[in-house]
Amino acid sequence: MAGLATTLGSGAMTNTIAEIGDAACILAIGSSTTEAHPIVGYQVKKAVRQGAKLIVANPQEVPLARFAHLYLQIKPGSDVALLMGMARVIIEEGLHDQKYIEERCEDFDQFKQSLEEYTPEFVSDITGVPREKVVEAARMYAENNPASILYCMGITQHSHGTDNVMAISNLALITGNLGKASAGVNPLRGQNNVQGSCDMGSLPNVYTGYQKVTDPAAREKFEEAWGVSLSGEPGLTHTEIFGAAYRGEIKALYLVGENPVLTEANAAHSTEAMGKLEFFVVQDIFLNETAQMADVVLPAASLLEKNGTVVNTERRVQRVRKVIEPVGEAKPDWWIVSAIANEMGAEGFAYNSAEEIFNEMTSLTPSYAGINYARLEEGSIQWPCPAEDHPGTPILHTEKFNTPSGKAKLVPISYRPSEDCCDFDFPLVLTTERNLYQYHSTMTRYSEGLDELSGGEHIRINPKDAEKMGISDGDMVEVKSRRGKLQVRAKITRNSQEGVASLSFHFAECPTNLLTSAALDPVAKTPETKVCAISIEKA
């Protein structure tokens, strides 16, 4: 998100899901759309049926690649080279939108200069994609308007994830593909309310609506509303919190609805870190692997057992409603946190309903100011929605960008290789992926049937690699990285690129993140779970 915040001033999907079906070109990069965002996948396939060109760039031949006009099997971690290489072709061939660049972008000259590095030879060498295909992709993207870019964790979970995102934004900007229907830069958000959690300031550097904790005016506003004095120093990010716990600097952790034992990069390290905590509270709907380590476990109501709102990947605020009473003594998360605050003698947590909380939030959040439960009864609203008579904003940046100058920034980027490099001992690259039938690590495992459909975990290996290592389909293998090892069955498939293997991370029986690297992107602090050097041998 940090990448788009820099270039466009707002880190969210710029367009809506329904518009994707009408795009003339779709570039899906680092997204296994049909598996991770099935409904968006339906729209992509619809666009293709209506004649749109589809470019899929992914190290693994994901199911969506079957529908692509052009599939680019790039080497893991080479996205910047591909995207900047495409930009170079577009500008060299004069396919860029000069008028749009002049009117709406800045720093074009510096950006253009930085493209010198990306000669066709360099790009082919880094990405493993033949030159002609890079040229074809550049032309296909630039010549079919409107063009929409979809991306996901395959772009962000790298030690250079922010560079990847900015390279995507560059490409959309030089072709004038921002601020209009069926175009845009569209990060597909994972969890049902990941957009809403970010919007609410469950982040170490911002309050609600991305108001910075370092901004004295914002801080003063919240201090006044909450009747307390607040710290102006940004806090620690997710991965940093585990590091600090490991070093004994964080002593108490309150963890809600997450299972880091399976999902955190370099999971053994974070598991050890949680073991060192002096006080550890977990709030969840299941006693998952992480909750089993806690000092206190608090039972939460599931999403079908409470009222409230969620925000989907396209910034759409929607009402969720209680279907059944919470099981046993489970309570809504807001109730539990408020009860703890009240028990600690804090003021301002005497909430009686989700709606009261929502109203307090909107009074402090300009981008949500016009939204209320009564309006949401009539239908969902996409933020920004600054006033009650404002219809909401399906497409961002139609007139200007959210940067101080109102113009978008084109950013020069140099290619940086991934941190966890292969060598003699760890000759293969492991990348992580998702499975349609699973969702992260907990909920789907408790839904009978989904588990059966997903077919369990396998490490997917290219036939040539398998032959070299003497591995047959279905063999139990031992997978090692510089951080950990595990055993899993092998599936031999041409969908895996030579030299690359992949695992999902849904299964407690196969804790993939014991292997992955927690090397961080310097800006977004996202761990590099998509590139990890490994070795595989028959167990």
Partner 1 sequence: MSEFITLTIDGREIKAAPGTSILRAALANDIYIPHLCDHKDLTSVGICRVCLVDIEGRRPTVSCMTPVEEGMVVSTANEELEQTRRMNLELLVLNHDYDCQNCAQNNKCQLQELTRFIGLDEDRIKAMRAPELADPIDDSNPYYLRDMNRCVRCGICVRACEEIQGDECIDFVFRGIETRIGVLGDKPIIDSTCTTCGECVTRCPVGALVPRHAVEPTYEVETVCPFCGCGCGILVGARGGKVVSSTAIPDSPSSGGSLCVKGRFGLGFVNSPRRLTTPLIRKEGKLVEAGWDEALSLVAEKLGRYKGSEYATIASAKCNVEDNYVMQKFTRAVMGTNNIDHCARL
398 SS3 class = coil
List the strands of the sheet with 25-29, edge to edge: 70-72, 53-57, 25-29, 147-151, 185-187
Contact between 207 and partner 1 per CB under 8 A: yes
Residue 340, H or E segment? helix 333-343
Which residue, 45 or 460, has its beta carbon nearer to partner 1?
Answer: 45
Contact between 358 and partner 1 per CB under 8 A: yes
Q: Which of the stretches 112-120, 123-131, 204-212, 469-477 binds partner 1 when contact is defined by CB under 8 A?
A: 204-212
Q: Which of the stretches 86-94, 123-131, 138-146, 245-253 binds partner 1 when contact is defined by CB under 8 A?
A: 245-253
Q: Which of 95, 268, 422, 436 binds partner 1 (CB under 8 A)?
A: 436
Q: Which of 112, 131, 180, 192 binds partner 1 (CB under 8 A)?
A: 192
Residue 435, H or E segment? none
Contact between 244 and partner 1 per CB under 8 A: yes
Count of C-beta atoms within a 10 Å radius of residue 202: 13
Residue 303, H or E segment? none
Which residue, 332 or 384, has its beta carbon nearer to partner 1?
Answer: 332
Which residue, 32 or 127, has its beta carbon nearer to partner 1?
Answer: 32
Q: Which of 198, 385, 471, 519 binds partner 1 (CB under 8 A)?
A: 198
Contact between 444 and partner 1 per CB under 8 A: yes
Q: Which of 130, 216, 379, 391 binds partner 1 (CB under 8 A)?
A: 379
Contact between 446 and partner 1 per CB under 8 A: yes
CA-to-CA dists, residue 64 to 26, 37, 69, 108, 384, angstroms: 12, 11, 11, 33, 32
Q: Residue 392 region, left (φ>0) first, then alpha (ψ -120 to 50), else beta?
A: left
**DSSP character at residue 228:** S
Scan residues 384-413 and list those touching partner 1 (CB under 8 A).
Answer: none
Residue type at position 281: V
Q: Which of 32, 156, 182, 535 binds partner 1 (CB under 8 A)?
A: 156
Contact between 530 and partner 1 per CB under 8 A: no
Contact between 71 and partner 1 per CB under 8 A: no
Contact track, partner 1, 17-56, x by CB under 8 A: xx---------------x-xxxxxxx--xx-xx-------
Write out the two tokens for 199: 């919007």
CA-to-CA dists, residue 339 to 212, 228, 342, 391, 511, angstroms: 27, 18, 5, 36, 35
Upper half-sphere CA count for residue 378 (Cβ side, 13 Å): 7
Dihedral sign for Cα 271, 275, 279, 285, please.
Answer: positive
CB 23 within 8 A of CB 146: yes
Contact between 350 and partner 1 per CB under 8 A: no
Strands 458-461 and 105-106: unpaired
Q: Which of 102, 109, 228, 474 binds partner 1 (CB under 8 A)?
A: 228
Which residue, 59 or 260, has its beta carbon nearer to partner 1?
Answer: 260
Query: Smallest gap, in angstroms, from Cβ of residue 44 to partner 1?
Result: 8
Which residue, 278 or 467, has its beta carbon nearer to partner 1?
Answer: 278
**DSSP character at residue 73:** -
Q: Give strand pairing partners of 500.
A: 429
Cα 431 off chain centre by: 15
Q: Which of 113, 252, 391, 476 binds partner 1 (CB under 8 A)?
A: 252
Scan residues 82-141 and list those touching partner 1 (CB under 8 A).
Answer: none
Contact between 443 and partner 1 per CB under 8 A: yes
Task: Tell me the number of residues near partner 1 by CB under 8 A.
Answer: 153
Contact between 189 and partner 1 per CB under 8 A: yes
Q: Which of 132, 220, 224, 304 binds partner 1 (CB under 8 A)?
A: 304
Q: What whole-number distance in Å separates Cα of residue 225 and Cα of residue 238?
A: 27
Contact between 226 and partner 1 per CB under 8 A: yes
CB 266 within 8 A of CB 529: no
CA angle 462, 468, 472 (to 5 degrees): 65
Contact between 329 and partner 1 per CB under 8 A: yes
Q: Which of 238, 407, 460, 491 binds partner 1 (CB under 8 A)?
A: 238
